[in-house]
Chain A
């Protein structure tokens, strides 16, 4: 194939594509953390905490906050009749007062230590670092083929005394440990 024919082919291809461009225009996409914030909101809505859980509905972030304003947009929304509040933690000891703890991917090297610190607390841990659920986080978020997916570590949820709705378990791409 010479360069000229390749060039002609390319031009023809572009013309064909031009005819189909409304299809391209249709695929509007959302920003990753706006969408992940919506997932965090849903996770909170489909979780039952034991009575000894922290009062209020605090969603906390530890490590470098990737959400920016996307998470603050959840502030004040009603979850199970309680008003959601967003907090950024500076030490893991503060996690005691949280219902949901989002562990930032920046904490990948600290994960075992952070999980150990909240091991027996009724805190729903969520993270989007690689293989989070496999490593003991209750819900791990990931992106696959430009769509958000999540995995659940059921054993970790049980240890934390937290009940996740069957709807969440059904929608999860994976539930650990495998039966």
Chain B
């Protein structure tokens, strides 16, 4: 490794030392405090007047988050308390802790894996991501961004619900493997001003300023701005280890920065959400056949939306929900190729769309809960271009637009106190793709008040996006495939949920998925060009188990294990980037008299194959975060160590990870041990 890397690791040791000493002395003080604190419980609270009760501080009890999703499914929920306790920095961190999910990072973007599927060229198109009901998947790549490229600061998230299984019967396209609902805090939840600053390894710093309040007359306001800068590491790629290419070291090519703005206003039945984010990341991997270690190689992503919502009750048994939105996504990528000569080639993508939704919830009929609605979306611009910057040569200048219409209905019918039937159907029509109709059927049986079984059947579809159909460029050896068809999935799942006590939950699930016409980025052996194609059939089956236990006093344990097998239905070959085994454990507990909380997670990922037939080894990593919510009046302190045991591990590369000399990456090494210190001041 280079001299810089050595200096850097020395800096780590220093940082470790200073962090440890500061945190330790803090712990000593706090523990002394805890011991000194007088014990004055055993007081009869009913003897106190109400005014006084309203002023007493409480320890919130641990409880299972309430399920608000309409979906009949085995829902996973991550709350703001988890985000704090486990020191989550991005949505990707959150998703890694969810049963059955995994995340791949190629040092440019982060990719969701679920039910054993994480396909090359898939920018998270197969999970529908909703932010307070707004569809985040963009209009060109269909992507939902989860790493530092995400539109939302995780500190503003109140809860994340993952609803596995097809959601097309309500949500239409993209809700293929699941729906991810992100629900943000409101102004009332912030209740004042928050200033947060953090410093982390690899010269990373982040700041956030948030104001939130609900006024007397019911106006709720949240305003927040975040800023993140990371210098990153000098990454070493053994595949490129040659004196001609800087001995395989990508110098200063891991830098990452983003800015985010988020505002929310609500008054009475109306609310308006406005969000904006911009993120720039250097590309260290020479992906798509670039020249390795060129400082110009980077991508930039810009996202924005405006979502106006109306929610009201029309009488006692009819709720109405309407929304009108505008969304924007722009991507720009500079790729450096050696034709020769060495030339900067630029991708420019722009998506603009608007749309609206009208949804009703009726409880007019006894024992029936009916949801029905219509949806319209107009993708006004789906523009993609690719050109050499100097001398200017255009390879692609493609302009498209598309309109989609959806109509759906779902009935939750309580046959008796112990049997529920849930049936849904949605029809989608678009100006571009064939019509799609998707049903979902669930039978839910409560054996006892504490044991529930759910039998689920559903189908979903995903139309190919503009990028998969029309992206073509000679520079990065891509060819278009306008004949690509929508992919379809048919699923069966059996879920069992059992509560041993109020504070102990067990969930088990068995699933079988079959996908027809799965869209995948493949390498055409005839001409060596990258092309998106329908591969015939893919199948997945698996078992998931999860246990969650809460203890008095705020200790929580959640642990899960997933076995899954995803394969090409024709050849029987296991799909790439599909681990057989996933195991996770999250444990958090207060210590030193509730002043500090420790949050620890352990994640195991099984061996995975790469698209070129190699393998990346299995690994276990552990993260540890210590948080003092009230370290001092108004001050919260959080100190985290990620990859505590400095495990060397890697993610599989995708089809596009090769440099200009045709050298393919065998694996993409992930971060070793790193640290973060975060201070948040509230007033």
Give A residues with C-beta under 8 Å from B: 1, 3-4, 6-8, 10-11, 14-15, 17-18, 20-25, 27-35, 37-39, 41-42, 46, 64-66, 74, 77, 90-91, 105-106, 108-109, 112-113, 116, 129-130, 143-149, 167-168, 171, 178
Contact assessment for B45 and A27 in the assembled complex, using a CB-CB cutoff below 8 Å:
no
CB within 8 A of B60: which of A4, A37, A143? A143
Contact assessment for B22 and A14 in the assembled complex, using a CB-CB cutoff below 8 Å:
yes
- 5 residue pairs of the A-B complex, CB under 8 angstroms, read A7-B19, A28-B40, A32-B58, A130-B68, A168-B50
Does B677 make an interface contact (CB < 8 A)?
A: yes
- A113 to B415 alpha-carbon distance, docked (Å): 13
Per-position 1/0 for B493-536, Cβ under 8 A of A: 00000010010000000000000000000000000000000000
- A156 to B21 alpha-carbon distance, docked (Å): 57
Contact assessment for A66 and B61 in the assembled complex, using a CB-CB cutoff below 8 Å:
yes
Q: In the complex, which residue of chain A has the Cβ closest to the Cβ of B317?
A: A112
Q: In the complex, which residue of chain A has the Cβ closest to the Cβ of B682?
A: A145
- A71 to B64 alpha-carbon distance, docked (Å): 20
Q: In the complex, which residue of chain B has the Cβ closest to the Cβ of A9?
A: B22
Contact assessment for A147 and B29 in the assembled complex, using a CB-CB cutoff below 8 Å:
no
The 4 closest A-B pairs by CB, nearest first: A7-B18, A10-B22, A38-B45, A29-B57
Name the B residues within 8 Å of A168 (CB-CB).
50
CB within 8 A of B56: which of A8, A90, A147? A147
Task: Given contact pairs A28-B38, A30-B56, A147-B57, enumerate 13 new A-B contacts (beta carbons under 8 Å).
Answer: A3-B14, A4-B14, A10-B677, A21-B36, A33-B61, A37-B45, A38-B48, A42-B46, A66-B61, A74-B46, A146-B57, A147-B58, A171-B51
Name the B residues within 8 Å of A171 (CB-CB).
50-51, 54
CB within 8 A of B11: which of A3, A22, A130? A3
Known A18-B29, A148-B54; contact A31-B59, beta-carbon cutoff 8 A: yes
**Which of B335-343, B433-441, B628-636 is near enough to bind chain A?**
B628-636
Contact assessment for A25 and B33 in the assembled complex, using a CB-CB cutoff below 8 Å:
yes
Contact assessment for A11 and B57 in the assembled complex, using a CB-CB cutoff below 8 Å:
no
- Nearest chain A CB to B185 CB, angstrom units: 12
Contact assessment for B58 and A146 in the assembled complex, using a CB-CB cutoff below 8 Å:
yes
Contact assessment for A10 and B18 in the assembled complex, using a CB-CB cutoff below 8 Å:
yes
Name the A residues within 8 Å of B594 (CB-CB).
29
Name the B residues within 8 Å of A17 (CB-CB).
26, 29, 631-632
Does B66 make an interface contact (CB < 8 A)?
A: yes
Contact assessment for B18 and A112 in the assembled complex, using a CB-CB cutoff below 8 Å:
no
CB within 8 A of A29: which of B33, B38, B53, B59? B59
Q: In the complex, which residue of chain A has the Cβ closest to the Cβ of B268?
A: A178
Known A64-B499, A144-B191; contact A25-B60, beta-carbon cutoff 8 A: no
Does more than half of chain A's interface fall in helix, strand or loop, or is it mixed? helix
Name the A residues within 8 Å of B34 (CB-CB).
25
Does B76 make an interface contact (CB < 8 A)?
A: no
- A20 to B635 alpha-carbon distance, docked (Å): 13
Does B80 make an interface contact (CB < 8 A)?
A: no
Contact assessment for A42 and B50 in the assembled complex, using a CB-CB cutoff below 8 Å:
yes
Does B55 make an interface contact (CB < 8 A)?
A: yes
- A29 to B18 alpha-carbon distance, docked (Å): 33
Does B63 make an interface contact (CB < 8 A)?
A: yes
Per-position 1/0 for B638-670, Cβ under 8 A of A: 000000000000000000000000000000000
Does B218 make an interface contact (CB < 8 A)?
A: yes
Most buried by A among B63, B369, B595, B677: B63
Q: In the complex, which residue of chain A has the Cβ closest to the Cβ of B218?
A: A178
Name the A residues within 8 Å of B37 (CB-CB).
25, 28
Q: In the complex, which residue of chain B has the Cβ closest to the Cβ of A150?
A: B54
Name the B residues within 8 Å of A116 (CB-CB).
363, 366
Contact assessment for B53 and A42 in the assembled complex, using a CB-CB cutoff below 8 Å:
yes
- A33 to B60 alpha-carbon distance, docked (Å): 8
Name the A residues within 8 Å of B417 (CB-CB).
91
Contact assessment for A143 and B14 in the assembled complex, using a CB-CB cutoff below 8 Å:
no
Q: In the complex, which residue of chain B has the Cβ closest to the Cβ of A134?
A: B313
Contact assessment for A3 and B58 in the assembled complex, using a CB-CB cutoff below 8 Å:
no
Name the A residues within 8 Å of B41 (CB-CB).
28, 30
Does B243 make an interface contact (CB < 8 A)?
A: no
Q: In the complex, which residue of chain A has the Cβ closest to the Cβ of B199?
A: A6
Does B389 make an interface contact (CB < 8 A)?
A: no
Name the A residues within 8 Å of B55 (CB-CB).
147
Contact assessment for A109 and B67 in the assembled complex, using a CB-CB cutoff below 8 Å:
yes
Name the A residues within 8 Å of B6 (CB-CB).
none
- A1 to B29 alpha-carbon distance, docked (Å): 26
Contact assessment for A24 and B33 in the assembled complex, using a CB-CB cutoff below 8 Å:
yes
- A11 to B25 alpha-carbon distance, docked (Å): 7
Contact assessment for A21 and B33 in the assembled complex, using a CB-CB cutoff below 8 Å:
yes
Q: In the complex, which residue of chain A has the Cβ closest to the Cβ of B59?
A: A29
Name the A residues within 8 Å of B25 (CB-CB).
11, 14-15
Known A35-B45, A64-B502; contact A11-B56, beta-carbon cutoff 8 A: no
Does B314 make an interface contact (CB < 8 A)?
A: no
Contact assessment for A31 and B21 in the assembled complex, using a CB-CB cutoff below 8 Å:
no
Name the B residues within 8 Å of A108 (CB-CB).
66-68
Per-position 1/0 for B63-85, Cβ under 8 A of A: 11011100000000000000000
Q: In the complex, which residue of chain B has the Cβ closest to the Cβ of A18?
A: B29
- A25 to B30 alpha-carbon distance, docked (Å): 9
- Which parts of B58-117 form the interface with A (CB within 8 Å)? 58-61, 63-64, 66-68
- Nearest chain A CB to B672 CB, angstrom units: 17
Most buried by B among A90, A109, A112: A109
- A149 to B38 alpha-carbon distance, docked (Å): 26
- Which parts of B178-196 form the interface with A (CB within 8 Å)? 188, 191
Known A3-B14, A23-B633; contact A143-B21, beta-carbon cutoff 8 A: no
- A178 to B366 alpha-carbon distance, docked (Å): 29
Contact assessment for B67 and A29 in the assembled complex, using a CB-CB cutoff below 8 Å:
no
Name the B residues within 8 Å of A147 (CB-CB).
54-58
Name the B residues within 8 Å of A74 (CB-CB).
46
Does B32 make an interface contact (CB < 8 A)?
A: yes
Does B613 make an interface contact (CB < 8 A)?
A: no
- Nearest chain A CB to B42 CB, angstrom units: 10
- Nearest chain A CB to B466 CB, angstrom units: 39
CB within 8 A of A24: which of B22, B50, B54, B595? B595
Q: In the complex, which residue of chain A has the Cβ closest to the Cβ of B639?
A: A10
Name the B residues within 8 Å of A178 (CB-CB).
218
Contact assessment for A35 and B14 in the assembled complex, using a CB-CB cutoff below 8 Å:
no
Does B15 make an interface contact (CB < 8 A)?
A: yes
